[in-house]
């Protein structure tokens, strides 16, 4: 594995592409970054794949993307923050993605709690965050991104029918390299703000399509339905339940429900 100088030049300079590792195919870019992190690699390593043989999203679900069609990349971050605030780094990444889509493609992208990228209300991508701890100290954060770009998800087996892509929404293909460069340029100042101890909670909350909607949260032992009112500093979802009590959800699958499903 080595740096790709041509790709590095195309992506420009910056902390979040300090080293760029490109693969025609690999099992998972998160797996590559995890190995680099554990070997002591400084932050800013970026792994990009044209195709993943074992790409995955949350809960180990398979992530499907035809070769040469998508943005599939992972970043190694080492923010000097407490591990309780680690998801602030993931907020920086997700906000960078939607801002990059807006600037490069002219499309409005939103976020669905906790990790989906939406365009036109349909899923266009997802973000997977993994933490590495050294005792109580946050050692590293790995943030993986999968974004559907130049293909129609309806033509690919295994992708949910409510998915979309840049191609579908824009009506034409886009340069994946150019889009990635804009995303990284938008991401970096947000990440630097996190490293300074600043909070992205308010900006992230404004980008969440989920807030203000009635949702069903699917947990391992139960399902909870309520109104998504807010998120806390660490990204947990705050629900208002039928009895007017609040429930804080750290992680879970969220479904936006119709008016007939309201509690």
d(CA 9, CA 157) in angstroms, rounded, equals 35
**Does residue 9 register a pLDDT over 90?**
no
pLDDT at 2: 44
* Cβ-proximal residues to 13 (8 Å cutoff; 6+ apart), any chain: none
Provide CB contacts within 8 A for 51, sequence distance 6+: 24, 25, 26, 65, 66, 67, 68, 72
Q: Are residues 117 and 32 in the same domain?
A: yes
Give the mean pLDDT of 104-112.
97
Residue 142 phi/psi, 5-degree rounding, is -110, 125
Residues 31 and 90 in one domain: yes
Phi-psi region of 229 (alpha: psi -120 to 50; beta: other; left: phi over 0): alpha
pTM: 0.91
Per-residue pLDDT at 57 exceeds 80 = no
Q: Is the dihedral of CA 93, 98, 99, 105 positive or negative?
A: positive
158-186 pLDDT per residue, tens: 888 899 999 999 999 999 999 999 999 99
Q: Are 47 and 106 in contact (CB under 8 A)?
A: no
83 and 184 share a domain?
yes
Q: Stretch 120-143: mean pLDDT, rounded? A: 95
Q: Are residues 235 and 121 in the same domain?
A: no
The Cα–Cα gap between 123 and 164 comes to 6
pLDDT > 80? residue 54: no
Please state the domain count of the chain: 2
Domain limit, last residue, from 164, 183, 207:
207
| Residues 20, 18: Cα–Cα separation, whole Å | 7
CATH number of 232's domain = 2.30.30.100
- For residue 218, what are the domain limits? 214-261
77 and 46 fall within a common domain: yes
Is the pLDDT confidence value at 201 over 70? yes
pLDDT score recorded for residue 211:
95
């Amino acid at each position: 594995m080595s740096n790709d100088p041509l790709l590095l030049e195309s992506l420009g300079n910056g902390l979040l592409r300090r080293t760029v590792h490109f693969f025609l195919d690999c099992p998972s870019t998160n797996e590559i970054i995890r190995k680099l992190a554990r070997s002591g690699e400084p932050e800013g390593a970026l792994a990009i794949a044209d195709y993943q043989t074992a790409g995955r999203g949350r809960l180990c679900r398979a992530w499907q993307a035809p070769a040469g069609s998508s943005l599939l990349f992972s970043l190694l971050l080492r923010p000097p923050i407490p591990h309780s605030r680690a998801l602030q780094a993931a907020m920086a990444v997700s906000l960078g993605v939607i801002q990059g889509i807006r600037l490069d493609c002219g499309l409005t992208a939103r976020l669905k709690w906790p990790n989906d990228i939406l365009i036109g209300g349909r899923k266009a991508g997802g973000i997977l965050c993994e933490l590495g701890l050294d005792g109580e100290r946050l050692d590293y954060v790995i943030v993986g991104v999968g974004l559907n770009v130049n293909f129609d998800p309806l033509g690919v087996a295994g992708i949910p029918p409510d998915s979309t892509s840049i191609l579908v929404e824009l009506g034409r293909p886009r340069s994946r390299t150019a889009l990635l460069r804009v995303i990284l340029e938008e991401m970096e100042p947000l990440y630097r703000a996190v490293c300074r101890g600043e909070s992205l909670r308010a900006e992230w909350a404004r980008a969440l399509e989920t807030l203000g909607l009635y949702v069903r949260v699917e947990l391992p032992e139960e399902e909870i339905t309520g109104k998504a009112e807010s998120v806390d500093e660490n990204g947990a979802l705050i629900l208002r339940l039928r009895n007017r009590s609040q429930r804080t959800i750290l992680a879970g699958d969220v479904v936006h429900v119709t008016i007939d499903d309201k509690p």
